[in-house]
Structure 1
Amino acid sequence: MSVAFVKEESAEAASETLLPDRPISPHANLVTEAGLKMLEAALNEARTAAEAATAIEDINERRRQSANPLRDLRYFTERVRTAEVVPAPETADKVAFGSHVTFEREDGRVQAYRIVGEDEADPKAGTLSYVSPVARLLLGKAVGDVVTLNGQEIEITAIA
């Protein structure tokens, strides 16, 4: 039979739809309760997308459409499996995982962030990963403490 009548792609073309796994952080997978819910929702979304892709009749299109969902499915399955929920801090005496911390920079800018897990961190939305340089400097500190980041002083003004 002529190759022109074969519906499947060559092995080379098929390998283009196999995406490398998303990197998994070497750090502990600490999450807030909301972070765990976000991971579970992302896992369900990936599962739904992967199932939808399996319904596609054309094998070439099925491979293309399932590449991202299958990669996400592997990633979020692992992140949910290894998630360690950290309860909200009981006090606001010191910056801890889950704390909302406000600080002022030398140039007068005031910034506020919540310290969260890596997958739920979004600085534009006001959340920082607990392994970020700023969060690592702030963890364990109290209101009035000053830390130095890249030669600039940062003073903690509030913890909630």
Structure 2
Amino acid sequence: MSRAFVKEDGNDLAPLPDLPIPDHPNYVTPRGLAALQTRLRDTQSRLATLRARPDRLDKLPEAAAERDIRYLEARLRSAQVIDPARQPLTAVAFGLRVTVAEGSGQTATYEITGEDEADAPLGRIAPHSPLARALMGAEPGDTVTWRRPTGPLELEILKIEPPDDPQP
């Protein structure tokens, strides 16, 4: 068999490119900070397990874990914790939940959270999203316009409240 296509030294796997880090501030809630710390510990543990494998021919999972650790460490270094409990409930702000009504009368509740804890099915939106930008600073009774790709939507602010589970 020809050795032309066989790599003799399997140790030269270049690190995977870093995950992109957004330019804007990294606001996090205490819950979001705890989640990032947990993700980092879990990823470090996964990397240790990968490195302990007897058969380490495939180094890609290790490289992916190392990349994820670099990302999580960068996110933790740049984290600016904002405690929702310290936010007044007079206007929509980071960390708070806001209930809105569309013109049709349908209601929805959103919580403005850090980017890394945003989760649309849970109603958690990032502060730099178009919806969050439309809501920020609005007070109960105000109407805001959410500029969506499908067209603008008018939303009436019904109530502002602290999150259900603000702490980790």
Question: Do the two structures share a fold, i.e. TM-score over 0.5?
Answer: yes
SS in 1 for 2:115: coil
Q: 2:72 is matched with which residue?
A: 76
Q: Which runs of 5+ in 2 are unaligned?
A: 162-168
Q: Tell me, yes or no, if the aligned pair for 2:140 and 2:160 is still in contact at 8 Å.
A: yes
The answer to whether the aligner puts 1:154 opposite 2:151 as a matched pair is: no
Q: Aligned residues: percent identity?
A: 36
Name which of 21, 44, 62 aligns with 1:66: 62
Q: Tell me, yes or no, if the aligned pair for 1:146 and 1:154 is still in contact at 8 Å.
A: yes
Q: Letter of the aligned partner of 2:35 in structure 1?
A: M
The answer to whether the aligner puts 1:95 opposite 2:92 as a matched pair is: yes
Q: CA 1:64/1:158 → structure 2, altered by over 3 Å: closer, same or farther?
A: same
Q: Tell me, yes or no, if the aligned pair for 2:16 and 2:67 is still in contact at 8 Å.
A: yes
The answer to whether the aligner puts 1:134 opposite 2:131 as a matched pair is: yes
Q: CA 1:50/1:149 → structure 2, altered by over 3 Å: closer, same or farther?
A: same
Q: Which runs of 5+ in 1 are unaligned?
A: none
Could you tell me how far apart the structure 1 residues matched to 2:115 and 2:143 are? Answer: 24
Q: Tell me, yes or no, if the aligned pair for 2:110 and 2:125 is still in contact at 8 Å.
A: yes
Q: CA 1:5/1:87 → structure 2, altered by over 3 Å: closer, same or farther?
A: closer
Could you tell me how far apart the structure 2 residues matched to 1:116 and 1:158 are? Answer: 17
How far apart are 1:82 and its partner, in Å? 1.1
The answer to whether the aligner puts 1:117 opposite 2:114 as a matched pair is: yes
Instruction: Report the TM-score, using the length of structure 1 for normalisation.
Output: 0.86
Instruction: Report the TM-score, using the length of structure 2 for normalisation.
Output: 0.83
Could you tell me how far apart the structure 1 residues matched to 2:105 and 2:78 are? Answer: 40
State the number of aligned residues.
154
CA RMSD of aligned residues (A): 2.2
SS in 2 for 1:60: coil
Q: Would you tell me which structure has more helix in proportion to its own residues?
A: 1
- The ranges of structure 1 where at least 4 consecutive aligned residues each deviate by more than 3 angstroms after the TM superposition are 2-11
Q: CA 1:114/1:144 → structure 2, altered by over 3 Å: closer, same or farther?
A: same
